Homo-oligomer: A and B are copies of this chain.
Amino acid sequence: MNITNLFADIPDDLPEELVETLLRSGAVRIERIVSKGHRSSDGFWYDQDQCEWVVLLKGKARLQFENGEMLELGPGDYLTIPAHRRHRVEWTDPETETVWLAVHCDPDG
């Protein structure tokens, strides 16, 4: 059995956010996302057809919602973002890697 670590295998240099699929099984999809100061472009909003469960495991981030709501996230914080709830990553810590897991909801769920 292979063990991998969520906090390992992070390149020193992260010109772009790093997104990797850790598991894909039918409707189930788990991603690891590593940010370091990355943020959504001004005026960009994610608008997803499915809900998404997100947990921040290391680092710090701020999520912004189109209604103006702003959420500060630290290690262990998780939430489910409903489908079509427009949001963006307003800020991630530029000093350290921010590691997220994202689990996508079932498109047929």
- Chain A residues engaging chain B, CB cutoff 8 angstroms: 1-8, 22-23, 25-28, 30, 50-51, 53, 55, 57, 65, 69, 71, 73, 75-81, 85, 101, 103-109
Residues of B near A75 (CB, < 8 A) are: 7
Task: Specify which of B6, B77, B107 is in contact with A76 (CB 8 Å cutoff).
Answer: B6
Q: A23-B53, A53-B23, A103-B103 given as contacts; is B28 within 8 A of A78 (CB)?
A: no
Contact B1 A78 (CB under 8 A): no
Q: Which residues of B contact A50 (CB under 8 A)?
A: 25
CB < 8 Å neighbour of A106 from B27, B76, B85, B105: B27
Q: Which of B28, B81, B85 contacts A105 (CB 8 A)?
A: B28
